[in-house]
Every structure is written in C-alpha cells, then in structure tokens.
C-alpha cells in the first residue's frame, strides 16, 4: 500500500503558485485578489474559510473576508454578490456553503459572475466542464484529478466507482474521470443512497472515490486487492483527544481498507489540502484572465 500525500503535493503546488505570483508582481502585474463571503458561525465553514484566507496569504494573493450574521437577508447577500461582480479589483470570489435555510444557494450561485466563479459552481462553469471546455473546475474534483496526475496513477480503461452524487463532488468528479484524456478515460459507475448492491459494485472497482459523507462507510470487504481509494469524507466528529474538540473522519475505514490498496488517501492530509490549492489555481487563472478574457 502506498499513501497519496495530498499535503505534500499541495505544498509543492503552493510553491509553484507563489513563484508565479512573484513573477507577475516583478513584471508590474496585479496581485490576484480572492474574496470569500461567510455567513454565520458554522464551525466547519469557519475553519475552511480561515484556511482559504491563510493559503491566499501564503502564496502572495490579496484576500478579503466578508462576514454576515446568520439572519442576513437573501436580498442583502445578492447585493453583496453584485458588488463583488462589479468590483474590478476582485479577480474571483466564493460564497461559502452551506447557507442558512432562508437563502437559496441556487439563486446566490447563479448571481455570481461566472468569470469570477473560482469555486466552479455556476451553471456556466458546470456546463463547460461537462462539455470539456475551458472553465473553472470545482475545487475538490480538480484536486482529485491532480493527485492522479502528480502520482502518475493510470486511469485509462479502469473501472471507477464514485460513491455519492452531490453537485460539489460526486457528479463533477464522475464527469472528469470519464472524460477523454489522462487522467480520465475511465468506465464510471456512480452509486448513491438508493443504489442496491453497493458492496458488489465496489468489489468490481479499480478506483473508488468515496464522497458520501458517511464516516467509515467503505469497509475492507468491499474493496478488491490492488484498488486505488480516494477518500473525500470530512465529517467532524467530537473528540477529547484534540485541542479543537473534534476530529475529521473519512468515508473509508482506513485500517481495514489500506492493506488491500495499491494507493490510498488519508484523512486528514489527502484530498482536503488539494481542494484549497485548486481554489488558488482558479484564482490565479482568474487574475490572468486566462479562461475568460474579461
Ligand atoms: N462548502 C463545502 N465545500 C465548499 C467549497 O468548495 N466551496 C464553497 N463555497 N463552499 C463549500
């Protein structure tokens, strides 16, 4: 079994981005600027957004954090999105999800200018991704694909089973794994909460991407020898062993599954760090106006 070290790969890519930012600044260009909008005080969202802002600083980006209380109205949030859309200094921005019940995530996502949608959640970016056109790829699927690329793990012709059909991970990663090229060219099966015989399907998989959000869902007896397992789960469970009072639990029962794998990602330190790096890559592209010219 070999460990896919997302933390190390993410550090390497951050270095590459930081070097590129230095070159941009040295040649008189503009420092890329990411804004993040955070509503309320959900612990997970606070941590993710703080990491995103810190990572921006590490690579030399400018970052702006805009906070709203839980009771912000949809109209106020839409006005904020429109201000960011119109602000020429902001290259890209994200609105951290989930949003409170009284705000439509769909409406907010659609209101974001797709040319600044560095999360890759806008229907234009999702559609262009499905068509294999240049776009902002959503961060977690892009991070997973990057791991296959950097570790030179063969995907062509292999059976990839995706567990989960979320808009953020399951759906887009299934499209990326089946697209033409490398990584890609997989035969993809998507399983979800209504799928029958998940164990039998997983046992036929060369690659399993687990993105259900169910801690320890994938057990040792569901994985064939030599499989590649990517664990996207990041459920926060209470713990008295950590300073923060919680620990991150993956969807894979690591101790059972790892001995059977050719490659496996740990939680934490696997897909998580790659997600942030993908966001940084998109922000750099947004700053350079490389995908959309204006
Ligand atoms: N919530 C969970 N993951 C994400 C993400 O990648 N972007 C945003 N905006 N919200 C999230």
Residue-level pLDDT at 222: 98
186 CA from centroid of ligand 1 (Å): 26
Q: Whose CA is nearest to atom 8 of ligand 1?
A: 96
DSSP character string of 226-237: TEEEEE---EEE
Ligand 1: distance of its center to the CA of 158 in Å? 29
Under CATH, what is the fold of the domain 29-119? Rossmann fold (3.40.50)
- Assess contact for 116 and 92: CB atoms under 8 A: yes
Q: What pLDDT shows up at residue 250?
A: 97
Residue 62 appears among annotated catalytic residues: no
Q: How confident is the model at residue 244, as a pLDDT? A: 87
- Architecture field, domain 139-273: 3-Layer(aba) Sandwich (3.40)
**Distance between CA 220 and CA 255 in Å, rounded?**
8
pLDDT (0 to 100) of residue 294 = 61
pTM, entire model: 0.96
- Dist. CA 87–CA 267, nearest whole Å: 37
Task: Establish whether 52 is a catalytic residue.
Answer: yes
The ranges of the chain with pLDDT < 50 are none
d(CA 95, ligand 1 centre) in Å: 8
Domain ranges of the chain: 29-119, 139-273
Query: Rounded to whole angstroms, what are the CA distances from 150 to 13, 163, 178, 292?
Result: 10, 23, 18, 26
User: Which among 289, 285, 269, 31 is positioned nearest to 137, based on CA atoms?
Assistant: 285
Instruction: Please write the tens of the pLDDT for every residue from 132-176.
Output: 999 999 999 999 999 999 999 999 999 999 999 999 999 999 999
- DSSP letter for each residue of 236-273: EEE-SSSTTSEEEE-SB-HHHHGGGEEEE--SSSSHHH
Ligand 1 atom closest to Cα of 95? 9
The question of whether 241 is a catalytic residue gets the answer no
For residue range 241-267, what is the model confidence (pLDDT) as tens digits?
Answer: 998 899 999 999 999 999 999 999 999
Instruction: Specify whether the CB–CB gap between 190 and 162 falls below 8 A.
Output: yes
Task: Check 119, 206, 231, 251 and give the catalytic one.
Answer: 119
User: In this structure, which residue's CA is closest to atom 3 in ligand 1?
Assistant: 97
């Amino acid at each position: 079994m070999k460990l896919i070290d997302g933390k190390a790969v993410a550090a390497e890519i951050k270095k590459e981005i930081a070097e590129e930012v230095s070159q941009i600044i040295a040649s008189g260009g503009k420092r890329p600027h990411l804004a993040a909008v955070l509503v309320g005080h959900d612990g997970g969202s606070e941590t993710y957004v703080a990491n995103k802002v810190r990572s921006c600083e590490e690579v030399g980006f400018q970052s702006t954090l805009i906070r709203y209380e839980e009771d912000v109205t949809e109209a106020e949030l839409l006005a904020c999105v429109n201000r960011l859309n119109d602000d020429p200094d902001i290259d890209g921005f994200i609105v951290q999800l989930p949003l409170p019940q009284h705000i439509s995530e769909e409406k907010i996502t659609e209101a974001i200018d797709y040319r600044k949608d560095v999360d890759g959640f806008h229907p234009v970016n999702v559609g262009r991704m499905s068509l294999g056109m240049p776009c902002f790829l959503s961060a977690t699927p892009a991070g997973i694909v990057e791991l296959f690329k950097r570790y030179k793990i063969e995907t062509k012709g292999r059976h990839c089973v995706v567990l989960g059909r979320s808009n953020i991970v399951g759906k887009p990663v299934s499209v990326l794994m089946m697209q033409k090229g490398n990584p890609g060219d997989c035969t993809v099966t998507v399983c979800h909460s209504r799928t029958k015989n998940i164990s039998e399907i997983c046992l036929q998989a060369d690659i399993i991407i687990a993105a259900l959000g169910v801690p320890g869902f994938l057990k040792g007896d569901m994985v064939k020898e030599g499989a590649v397992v990517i664990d996207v789960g990041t459920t926060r469970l209470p713990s008295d062993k950590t300073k923060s009072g919680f620990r991150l639990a993956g969807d894979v029962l690591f101790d059972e599954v790892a001995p059977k794998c050719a490659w496996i990602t740990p939680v934490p330190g696997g897909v998580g760090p790659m997600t942030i790096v993908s966001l940084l890559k998109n922000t750099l592209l947004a700053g350079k106006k490389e995908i959309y010219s204006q």
